[in-house]
């Protein structure tokens, strides 16, 4: 690793996508995926379509969504992908999104993945950014859950799952990400609350990874370097990978595969739990 450490993931190819046998993985079953125009959300939308599901890929970046559809086609996804240009801060649009999803088939799965990062210490943190992050990463997942639950429960077997993209920052805190940390802890709380009310049929799980090669990570490198007074190379080597035993960042598809597994029949006993896939970062010390 050096100055040229590659933060962009390689092209998403079919051979990296986990495909599983599941009687519910057909185009009759609908999955809503947020943040689907980029990074982890895009890979998850593609992976679920590759597993045969009807996917409603939503984001506020229309061009990014079109690219997601193109990639799904390239990997030979058999499930159709519909796109929905929705800003998750708009309650009415979120409610309409769920209704659209429910009209496409049997809504069973929701992947709350959209998110954003902002680097600043508590004393300097802008309150409008605080509100935006809470709205996108806590309020919208709650509203999507609230609107989706009745539809999932209507399925003939009442089976489905709601998954939330948390983070290692939903377990431990680092400097200059106070609100991100708060939202990720909250998402784990939401996950457990859904499990408590889902009666084992509407399951819930969260996914907590360390750093993944996405634009969200690339963008925070210069800001972290500035706040900590270190070089960008040190941010990658010491801050992002320093505490990880696996010295390679995850790719979006590695995270997408966890959503596929969790939604599938093989995740039947994963309910309220967290898939902490962090290369050992938060499990080891020195
Ligand atoms: P990304 O920036 O590549 O994608 C995030 C997507 O969310 C973007 O397409 C963006 O348009 C969308 N989004 C943001 N605000 C929105 C809004 N108001 N309405 C609709 N869409 C909106 O980021 P990513 O790295 O793929 O992150 C996805 C999720 O994974 C986030 O919740 C992030 O916190 C989490 N996560 C990322 C990492 C990582 O290292 N990349 C690690 C752990 C957790």
Does some domain include residue 241? no
What pLDDT does residue 61 have?
Answer: 98
Q: Taking the CA atoms of 64, 69, 72 and 74 in sequence, report the sign of the dihedral they define.
A: negative
- Domain count for the chain, please give it: 1
What pLDDT does residue 4 have?
Answer: 57
What pLDDT does residue 2 have?
Answer: 42
Q: Where are the beta strands (DSSP E) in the chain?
A: 29-34, 54-59, 81-85, 106-112, 160-165, 202-209, 273-277
* Residues 206, 192: Cα–Cα separation, whole Å: 9
Return the closest-CA partner of residue 168 out of 133, 138, 210, 137.
210
Q: What do you get for the CA distance between the two ends of the chain, in Å?
A: 21
- Residue 110: strand pairing partners: 32, 162
What pLDDT does residue 48 have?
Answer: 99
* Residues 273, 191: Cα–Cα separation, whole Å: 8
Find the CATH number of the domain harbouring 47. Answer: 3.40.50.720
Domain that holds residue 256: 21-209+250-275
What pLDDT does residue 162 have?
Answer: 99
Does some domain include residue 258? yes
Q: Which element (helix H / strand E) includes 224? A: helix 215-228
Does some domain include residue 232? no
Of all atoms in ligand 1, which is nearest to the CA of residue 250? Answer: 40
Number of H helices and E strands in the chain, helices first, is 9, 7
Crossing angle of helices 178-197 and 140-153, rounded to 10°? 20
**What is residue 250's three-state secondary structure?**
strand
Residue 116's Cβ-count burial label (10 Å; 0-12, 13-18, 19+) is middle
Q: Distance, CA 156 to ligand 1 centroid (Å)? A: 33
Are the C-beta atoms of residues 109 and 161 closer than 8 Å to each other? yes
Does some domain include residue 69? yes
Which of 116, 174, 281 has most ligand 1 atoms within 8 Å of its beta carbon, as the pocket-test mutant? 116
Q: Report pLDDT digits (tens) over 173-216.
A: 999 999 999 999 999 999 999 999 999 999 999 999 999 999 99
pTM > 0.75: yes
Does some domain include residue 229? no
What pLDDT does residue 6 have?
Answer: 79
Smallest CA separation from ligand 1 atom 21, residue: 59
What pLDDT does residue 7 have?
Answer: 84
List residues near ligand 1 (CB under 6 A). Answer: 35, 37-41, 59-61, 64, 87-89, 113-116, 136, 165, 167, 209, 211-212, 214-217
Residues of the chain with pLDDT under 70: 1-4
Q: Distance, CA 188 to ligand 1 centroid (Å)? A: 16
Does some domain include residue 215? no
Which of 214, 249, 275 has most ligand 1 atoms within 8 Å of its beta carbon, as the pocket-test mutant? 214
Q: Distance, CA 85 to ligand 1 centroid (Å)? A: 15
Tally Cβ neighbours within 10 Å of residue 142.
Answer: 16
Return the closest-CA partner of residue 19 out of 83, 77, 101, 104.
77
What pLDDT does residue 9 have?
Answer: 86
Residue with tokens 């986990």: 18
Does some domain include residue 237? no
Which of 7, 33, 41, 144 has most ligand 1 atoms within 8 Å of its beta carbon, as the pocket-test mutant? 41
Does some domain include residue 43? yes
């Amino acid at each position: 690793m050096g100055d040229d450490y590659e933060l962009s993931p390689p092209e998403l190819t079919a051979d990296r996508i986990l495909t599983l046998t599941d009687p519910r993985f057909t185009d009759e079953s609908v999955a809503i995926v947020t943040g689907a125009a980029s990074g982890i959300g895009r890979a998850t939308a593609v992976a679920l379509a590759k597993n045969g599901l009807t996917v409603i890929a939503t984001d506020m970046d229309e061009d990014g969504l079109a690219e997601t559809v193109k990639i799904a086609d390239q990997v030979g996804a058999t499930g159709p992908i519909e796109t929905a240009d929705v800003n998750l801060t708009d309650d009415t649009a979120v409610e309409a999104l769920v209704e659209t999803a429910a009209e496409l088939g049997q809504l069973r799965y929701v992947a709350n993945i959209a998110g954003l990062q902002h680097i600043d210490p508590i004393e300097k943190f802008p309150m409008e950014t605080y509100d935006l992050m809470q709205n996108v990463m806590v309020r919208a997942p709650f509203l999507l859950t609230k609107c989706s639950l009745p539809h999932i429960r209507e399925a003939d077997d009442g089976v489905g799952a709601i998954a939330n993209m948390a983070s290692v920052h939903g377990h431990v805190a680092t400097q200059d990400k106070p609100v991100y940390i708060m939202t990720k802890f909250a998402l784990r709380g939401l996950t457990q609350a859904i499990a408590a009310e889902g009666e084992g049929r509407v399951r819930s799980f969260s996914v907590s990874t360390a750093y993944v090669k996405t634009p969200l990570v690339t963008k925070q490198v210069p800001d972290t370097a500035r706040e900590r007074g270190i070089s960008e190379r040190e941010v990658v080597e010491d801050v992002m990978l320093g505490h990880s035993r696996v010295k390679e960042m995850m790719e979006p598809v590695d995270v997408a595969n966890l959503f596929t597994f969790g939604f599938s029949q093989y995740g039947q006993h994963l309910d309220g739990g967290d898939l902490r896939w962090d290369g050992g970062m938060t499990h080891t010390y020195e």
